[in-house]
Structure 1
């Protein structure tokens, strides 16, 4: 029901004649539609927050009895007092004020979207295999509120947003105001548009206005309305739509043509445009393993089943890297087959020995013999990357095909780096590069094989409806972030986590350090919801939450992708295909951190009693790299990319430490004294400063009423 209809219904109880007169005047106006998209801006959404503490002053709903599947009391109640596990609650109605006493365990916290919220993050573990690379993050929470949080951490800082929102098929695939929207709901389309508009307006605040892209996939149910909505929200952008074949066999539609495709809108902001790469979108046969034109350097250590020492002992030799400069100073000889690296093969003074040994200790082999390695090293076709926290120096090389392209001028030599490797770039007129077409037809985009089946390999036995093809998402992003190795990618309808997985693959292909922020909630399906309710469970119960999408699918999928192990600890079966083929059990050298959105009290924050909840946001804003400052016991702390000062009397020590470190991006200063804050900020040139908690609170109070 629209907001206007709700107001008329309320008025009808007070003055039926006035309500009828107003309704008679409004109806003709509703039929006079100006040009463009018109829909009801429904009352702002409300979300039930299971598991959150009930406090005096909260808005709550009273839950139905355990075991009941009834919808329950949908009224909002106000908590007047709490005592001994019992809450006194009240709600106004047309006849006056109603009160009742309710056990606290029967109440659930409610946040309305018209209210200001003060978000925090509760850490939920991490997986770390990427040394110094930034962390991908997964946030479990209502995505509208997480987007509000991200306006503090990432305003105008996101390079690409990829979302796969609910398609509004009428099959109870999404909720509005905590109710699944049914196919016969007369307001189904306008509810969906209101739902999307609020989130897109916040997404616009996060994208870089000078060069970024929004990608939205949709099917035929809402693509026309979505196109108009995007045009209204992003009125200064250029918008294109592509048709992507996701099931060549077709999906039956009653009394209609069989559906084989879906649509993707590309919203270009500023100078954004698709980059030409060696991927032909209109080519159904992907049997040719096409390497993207942007990928030049490949890991020197061989992967897969053939990448073991026993296959070629001549490729098992040490590379001696100067531990100060990162330059290769010498190359050792292959060991006899039965000997193993130990102290009997010491490196030259000041060097470390790099052997082709996997993280699991398995002796592998390099991609080439010692003689070929030395030849390529002299020509600049071997590159040493940055030293990782594990003390290893990653080494990459240029493949023979790329060498041929260098010699033909297709790949341009721009010089050598300080370690002797060639600095290479693709020729902007590279004939291998192709601009994507508006119809995509590739074997790799099949959602059944490379969505459902691939996800089942990562998380066996865990069902998720309609996951995207990993390679379709990868290709969509490739066209916009291939030339941005440090891009920030956001997906706030992350579902099973395909977007983060695709970003990891892009990083592996070119050595990039892109990071993905994935946002999802921990909802269960409509069928599972009813089943759990009949079992006497409620949202917030551990037995309920374990089946939620974030805990059951998203986080396990991302852990599995990185570690190469299923949730049961078994090596993942199968191999990645197409552009970069290697066993899925190899995993990725990436990091990921998991969080749950929390709702904090502004008074506790202002009194500096909620730092633990705000701490992850400070880390995110500083790039989500390295260690995180979770407490301030000594009055100040400095991590890899940021610092926090609480005791201003220790400002000189804090500033000295900032100046000593490299890579510091932000300094947070906790004070309610603007003069002292300005004094400290003036002594930290070249580093962004943020005042806590003033800047955070002001941001929270400016994001409402979307």
Structure 2
């Protein structure tokens, strides 16, 4: 019996009202969780290859999927769960613009929370995207400044524990709020990732490792050995250091004491996490930079020098010896070096030779120096010019620059990554993948998802066919030097919904074959409309038996004898196992696909 079963109606209503009045920490929007859960499995999604709209000849390693991205994501979750390395999306910004098929305005004034519909629209897609990510996968989401806070809270809800941070990039040069003297010319890219993800970073150059003692350790740089504490806070690391070769002494900066302890200052039983200064000196890991020295033969000479600001100084020209310091008489008669000691950091000993990715995306003009390794993006207007160069006219509004997406891919997508964009629009992400592969010889693959954006007034609209896919086709065939060496084949797939009870009759063999090839990580091929079809590689043999006959059974006996790593799918697998037993892995089409769809 449930804990509410015996409560009177009035008390149940009061509990519900109290729950509705209780405020939750974080983002709150109107949503029907039961309806949302049911929507995922409301029906089955199938996808079939439209050969005449596909780019180049099969086999196709890339995909362009036409359909509502909610349906496409459900299909991809069935076939590619846990395989996507990098997702980049530029979703609608909820600006109220009227030129998008969804009206770019998922805000219903009737909702208790004004942006509820927009938030729910994105939330349902983001939780599906989460299931697609590999354990080292990452998702980047572009958003403007106005909606950034809401979207970040939404991502926290949909992708709990996956937040990395955000990037800021400059979209244009002109101001859009001159009345307030404020130039809101930036947007954000929010980054969320699975636990195994780490940015690839950028290779460090070794230019600062210019010192060399001509020994087996090689080149080194000079790192400071001070820390931000004064001698009153860290008295145990305020001590003089002597160069054992020259005999010269180096005073400690009273405002920034040494980073390393001295064995002479250790307490009984004290354990250290790093070497003492004496150990570093003995191992020749301290560089002494003094070129000359000061020497004061009496306290008066020393005091006069301090008063007259003569004597050793730090890198900012501040006096290292002061009249108020303890043990000042120690320096009388000592040769006091004019330089500062540093630690030798050897290039050959570095465990990490990449530097972290910056949270600021620089403008292209700022990063023209080839030695500058940062995320780089051109302004938004450059993207419009690129599309005009490809199509010969302006066919898409507000595309992102290729350089923006490519920079993110350089930082996050290794050379064999699968990259997904389920708000593909003008296929900027595919363009970025193509450019990057051409530049570094990579083998990255893309999946672009786009709707038709057909409306009642314009039923013939097909954004996916005429812009998303067409951009890839035009780039692959372009003679323009700017697009040299850009080429990518792709299968054009179209999604449709099927009721589960109608699957056995309505799910076409072409749709089964596309799902099975994708599920087995194989490039897509045409379905030959034969009783059975086979896709064979060095690693596996995939067979789909639409109809079981003598010829197929004889072929499968040969597969079993050769001990191939074979997977056989059939509507009625019992017909095959009755002959082959367990010699071959035989699976039910319906059980396998529906089981994965409803995972």
Task: Please state which band the TM-score falls in when normalised by the shorter chain.
Answer: 0.5 to 0.7
Q: Deviations over 1:289-315 (max 9, x none)?
A: xxxxxxxxxxxxxxxxxxxxxxxxxxx
Count of aligned pairs between the two proteins: 433
CA–CA separation in structure 2 for the residues paired with 1:428 and 1:450: 39
> Offset at 1:493?
0.7
> Offset at 1:549?
1.6
Does residue 1:242 correspond to 2:167, yes or no? yes
The equivalent residue for 1:121 is: 48
> Residue 172 of structure 1 contacts residue 183 of structure 1 at CA under 8 Å; is this kept in 2?
no
Indicate how the Cα distance of structure 1 residues 656 and 259 shifts in structure 2: closer, same or farther if over 3 A, else same.
farther
> Residue 527 of structure 2 contacts residue 533 of structure 2 at CA under 8 Å; is this kept in 1?
no
User: What SS class does the counterpart of residue 355 from structure 2 fall into?
Assistant: coil
Equivalent of 2:91, from 146, 149, 165?
A: 165
CA–CA separation in structure 2 for the residues paired with 1:631 and 1:697: 23
> Residue 106 of structure 2 contacts residue 118 of structure 2 at CA under 8 Å; is this kept in 1?
no
User: What SS class does the counterpart of residue 643 from structure 1 fall into?
Assistant: strand
Equivalent of 1:148, from 67, 74, 78?
A: 74
Equivalent of 2:468, from 533, 545, 554?
A: 554
CA–CA separation in structure 1 for the residues paired with 2:34 and 2:397: 28
> Residue 85 of structure 2 contacts residue 137 of structure 2 at CA under 8 Å; is this kept in 1?
yes
Equivalent of 1:268, from 187, 193, 197?
A: 193
CA–CA separation in structure 2 for the residues paired with 1:263 and 1:660: 55
The equivalent residue for 2:556 is: 654
The equivalent residue for 1:613 is: 511
Indicate how the Cα distance of structure 1 residues 636 and 496 shifts in structure 2: closer, same or farther if over 3 A, else same.
closer
Q: What pairs up with 1:145-294 in 2 under 5 angstroms?
A: 145-172=71-98, 181=106, 187-208=113-134, 210-252=135-177, 257-277=182-202
- TM-score, with length taken from structure 2: 0.63
Q: What pairs up with 1:167-566 in 2 under 5 angstroms?
A: 167-172=93-98, 181=106, 187-208=113-134, 210-252=135-177, 257-277=182-202, 429-430=352-353, 433-443=354-364, 445-482=377-414, 485-523=415-453, 533=457, 539=459, 544-545=460-461, 548-564=462-478
User: What SS class does the counterpart of residue 447 from structure 2 fall into?
Assistant: strand
User: What SS class does the counterpart of residue 248 from structure 1 fall into?
Assistant: coil
User: What SS class does the counterpart of residue 95 from structure 2 fall into?
Assistant: coil
Does residue 1:600 correspond to 2:498, yes or no? yes
Does residue 1:33 correspond to 2:26, yes or no? no
Does residue 1:699 correspond to 2:596, yes or no? yes
> Residue 37 of structure 1 contacts residue 228 of structure 1 at CA under 8 Å; is this kept in 2?
yes
Indicate how the Cα distance of structure 1 residues 690 and 168 shifts in structure 2: closer, same or farther if over 3 A, else same.
farther
> Residue 46 of structure 2 contacts residue 507 of structure 2 at CA under 8 Å; is this kept in 1?
no
Task: Report which of the two structures shows the higher radius of gyration computed on alpha carbons.
Answer: 2
CA–CA separation in structure 2 for the residues paired with 1:159 and 1:231: 20
Structure number with the bigger relative contact order (C-alpha 8 A, sep ≥ 6) is: 2
> Offset at 1:436?
1.4
User: What SS class does the counterpart of residue 259 from structure 1 fall into?
Assistant: coil
The equivalent residue for 2:583 is: 683
CA–CA separation in structure 1 for the residues paired with 2:71 and 2:30: 22
> Offset at 1:126?
5.2
Q: Deviations over 1:501-538 (max 9, x none)?
A: 111122122222211111010105xxxx5xx73xxx6x
User: What SS class does the counterpart of residue 644 from structure 1 fall into?
Assistant: strand
Tell which deviates more after alignment, 34-43 or 513-522.
Answer: 34-43
The equivalent residue for 1:138 is: 64
Q: What pairs up with 1:27-66 in 2 under 5 angstroms?
A: 30-41=20-31
- TM-score, with length taken from structure 1: 0.54
CA–CA separation in structure 1 for the residues paired with 2:57 and 2:416: 14
CA–CA separation in structure 1 for the residues paired with 2:204 and 2:584: 46
Indicate how the Cα distance of structure 1 residues 36 and 657 shifts in structure 2: closer, same or farther if over 3 A, else same.
same
CA–CA separation in structure 1 for the residues paired with 2:380 and 2:70: 30
> Residue 638 of structure 1 contacts residue 658 of structure 1 at CA under 8 Å; is this kept in 2?
no
The equivalent residue for 1:292 is: none
CA–CA separation in structure 2 for the residues paired with 1:43 and 1:174: 27
User: What SS class does the counterpart of residue 231 from structure 1 fall into?
Assistant: helix
Indicate how the Cα distance of structure 1 residues 410 and 636 shifts in structure 2: closer, same or farther if over 3 A, else same.
farther
User: What SS class does the counterpart of residue 159 from structure 1 fall into?
Assistant: strand
> Residue 140 of structure 1 contacts residue 595 of structure 1 at CA under 8 Å; is this kept in 2?
yes
Q: Deviations over 1:203-230 (max 9, x none)?
A: 111111x211111111122211221222
> Offset at 1:629?
3.3
CA–CA separation in structure 2 for the residues paired with 1:274 and 1:681: 48
Q: What pairs up with 1:663-674 in 2 under 5 angstroms?
A: 667-673=567-573
The equivalent residue for 1:331 is: none
5+ long unaligned stretches in structure 1: 1-17, 47-110, 281-408, 412-426, 565-570, 576-582
CA–CA separation in structure 2 for the residues paired with 1:681 and 1:669: 14
Indicate how the Cα distance of structure 1 residues 145 and 256 shifts in structure 2: closer, same or farther if over 3 A, else same.
farther
5+ long unaligned stretches in structure 2: 1-8, 206-345, 365-375
User: What SS class does the counterpart of residue 144 from structure 1 fall into?
Assistant: helix
> Residue 215 of structure 1 contacts residue 264 of structure 1 at CA under 8 Å; is this kept in 2?
yes
CA–CA separation in structure 1 for the residues paired with 2:181 and 2:588: 59
CA–CA separation in structure 2 for the residues paired with 1:253 and 1:644: 64
Q: Deviations over 1:426-479 (max 9, x none)?
A: x9744xx43211111222523434311111111122421110110110111111
